Amino acid sequence: MLAALARGRSEIRGALTSDDARSSARVLRLLGAEISALRAGIRIDVTAHGRLRVADRSLDCGNSGTTARLLLGMLAAHRFVSTLSGDRSLQKRPMRRVTDPLTAMGARVVRIRHDGLPLTIAGGRLHTLQWRLPVASAQIKSALLLAGAVAGVDVTLEQPAASRDHTERMLRYFGFDVRETALKVALRPGGRFVPFGIDVPGDPSSAIFLLAAAALASRGEIAVEGVSLNPSRIGFIAVMRRMNIPVASHDVGDEAGEPIGTLVAGASEIVATDIAAAEVPGVIDEIPMLACLAARARGTSRFAGLAELRVKESDRLALIASNLRAVGVDATVDGDDLIVEGTDVPPAGRAVTRGDHRIAMAFAVLGTLPGARIRIDDRTCAAVSFPGFDATLAGLFQRTAR
């Protein structure tokens, strides 16, 4: 997205070639950027014109909430009309939390249905924004920061809790004045999007599935190299350590303000833990896997304040609990809290994903336990964020067997 705002050719190495990334590339091509094919291990070239251009059709964001919400911020600063759509799951995800502040900045949302997609946004001349975010969300925050950066206006945001900060780091990389104090983020204009080259770090939210597989195994360990060690993204490490899973991290470098390193985990005797509501924004995508780890822990775990999971690709909170029960684990939802009673009985049963990639991967990892018999109704949805997940997971145990 940032390369599409520069004038000239940018080179992106090591990018995730997932369905979500392809959704972003697809809509950006319609908006005038030339983007080479997304293939694993192949550099992606993006040639752009400094600003987006009006598309001749609706922008299909697929299953990607990140694509839709960040794109809304960028489009708000362009003086043309765009219509965004998505798959059935994305159409149900709330968008007014983004469009309301963009409307306050001067954009016009021409049509919105059921607080979701499809919707039409008319961009224009934006003005300064001061806004209190209703939830701690990096997607909302990033959309508004991108709107301010493209429009060249001040944006000051107050959030109820800290959330991931990749966008703030990248904007600073391009010379924008982005300041964070306590729970406030302020952007001042002055930066400039220029062509760049970057090596994209690995995604911690994908790495956790491999680390968890190692923790559940009877022996061995795994080292995942080249992972982003951004402090706003690795809150799950502290949780796993509380669960008696000794995750080691080794910082080895930096890329565009992102610390990069290696994560190591091995077979463990897992114990129960609690996750406080204040921790949730930092581990929001890792909750399904952490819940499956809690299913194998000694004792009862309570994950508090998971309301935001109800508006992900599925009602993740309800789905985690129902799937855990379906495979023989005592799991209940108490308000917005998830309570999981650990067991050493091998899990067996059918897990329903409702097309949610993180549910599919978490229960696939749980299914690697000796004696487990977990059937997953749709494993292919893992490609949304982790192409080749099944082969990667199987490969871990093939190497262990050798």
Query: Whose CA is closest to 203, among 222, 237, 226?
Result: 226
List pLDDT tens digits, range 349-380: 999 999 999 999 999 999 999 999 999 999 99
Query: Whose CA is closest to 288, among 265, 320, 311, 313?
Result: 320
Rounded CA-CA distance 112/114 in Å is 7
| Residue 285 among the catalytic residues | yes
Residue numbers in the chain where pLDDT is lower than 70: 112-113, 399-402
Whole-structure pTM value:
0.86
Rounded CA-CA distance 296/269 in Å is 9
Could you give the 3-state DSSP secondary structure of residue 139?
A: helix
Active-site position among 19, 20, 60, 285: 285
List pLDDT tens digits, range 110-132: 876 678 999 999 999 999 999 99
